[in-house]
Chain A
């Protein structure tokens, strides 16, 4: 008790001393204070930790409602009460995390205004109208969330669709809030609507809708879903491992599967959104782009590659182990070794850096700047190819998982006209997009000697369109499985084999074309994923089941994989947050307002690693605590029932 008193007294003295020193410091200076620290701790470090924690909670709070509402709608449509219960459980976690997000947001604002008063004064000058809207929208989001959560039972029988409407509005307000706050962060990276000499605001609209705003919006939107999915997956894994009854085990096994499914489904388009953001960073400032991919931040992208690799491997590993509980899955196990080899090969290429750490002796033995491995694997042409192959392989894992207990299928022609129409609309829209992009490529203004390298890209898109048409016709002729294989094969041939080779050609002859090549690759792969996924839905609709799915009978290893996925995505978000913010180097607002505080240096990789690890541990501890609190009521209920 005495030691506690001594500790408490010391703490009070320390805090008071901090306050006094701040006051004295402020009084001594007759000028406006630009920077303060947090009781001796570097302001940048404090803001770094608080903002990352706020963003992680916010990602969860924004990501989860998207799939909570989706799951609820599936529940209504299918009439399966399990979906409704699952959506409710998601929302329970959501409402528990919501208050923490708001508290962290408040703390972040006070930290920023307290420690960076000069910079925040300017940001307030520019964005004050939007800040008011932000605060008002927060009310709307809070009302929708509480309305959604607490009206679950009241609106269960009558007014279910109104309940869903509340959920949709929760998403609308939440996403708008994020978009508003994103504009402040991206304004700092690519300022617009101000005079870069004087700082005078020339257009609030341009400052808000700055160059990197939409790419960051898109990237964060998808990343939030992946983040929410994997965090929910880990929650389910912990609950699964602690469950005593078979029913609970079955429920949490299923919840973990849904979490992993959502996480992986969002992870698949994430590299494309990331590429779009990266490309726009290059467009906004080629120097910032070079700092990111080839300069001070290049090594952080190797860490990113490792984390993304872990996510893909972990996600696939979970699916493969999940096949253990599906009767009939043994028919598809023969594909696993091949997918495994492909995924690890892709991972190896994906993380090979262009510049390797070499000793002097190794450099002398190699005799040139680059070892062939890094020369060929370390550049975008190879990396784009393997990331697309990684995505296609994971998609293939999904396909075999889905059909693991399915036997004889119903002929496509027996599904009737609605199936045909759905397929025609899907293929039509996909082809329309491909045609639109190909037309755009034709119209690109480039010098004649460079433009000639665009034609093969248009040809690739044309071949993909033909492949899609043939695939659809084959599906109509009841050869859906073969059609899926054909489309996958053509896609791999174009997006992975040919465009990887062609990537090296254009890198040498016309690197301007590389950016169009990457988008072509993405478009071809996405078109294959969409068309094949829709075919798959109809192909196995009402198919005979050769066995049951024994929910709850999954190996424990898979649950550890879910925990690993959660740690990996949290670390990834921490790391990418640092990169996005750190790219400004010593600028508060890139090219206009310099950061002259002592903490403006670009951190070393080890410093960054320690700070990010601290953020990850803090977030996981906090989120575990919040989830534990959310479960207290449930425990009480079950004990009183007993």
Chain B
């Protein structure tokens, strides 16, 4: 019998309504294990709310989210140790040193060899020079690397990234992308990446979901989107979608 593998993330007819606004309006998608998917959309498109529902931080008004087979947020404790995230909406405690912060999170995630894991991440992400510096005294680039280290502490099977390279210089941003690509290649993790950086999405993602006003406006490979919109770059595709220009559907 042919058994279908469980998708890493499964979103079905998901809706999130706040008092007077609908942030997410009936979206559905499935992300197979080991894929990197970009979630695009303008401000207020519903990307962050979608990611928050996938993480179990926000309860859907209706519809379902399942991560690694567990319904979120109800069964979140079955899978939270296999997930992690990075977001500009959260920070690491500033007075603690990088090493202290990482070791606290490693213990929270049940990492077995905490010292070894921190040492290996410090090596891979070049944190060694400031491991014992207070997190609040780091530059933006260093903070991002520390956040990335925190998000990789438990070797997550599902990694959610919300604007992972926002406010970084091109060199640091490229460095972060390279490391994420390496992590995915080594572990087969599933990555969902919300970003405004089209180059980043084009480079890293094999699939792109474009959201607008809480709905999925388009969902295809980067090449498929470029072909169907007859555009050279994803940025142009994004602008077409954002400004409501008709696409040339060739499929």
Q: Do A and B come from one complex?
A: no
Chain B residues with CB under 8 Å of chain A are none
Chain A residues with CB under 8 Å of chain B are none
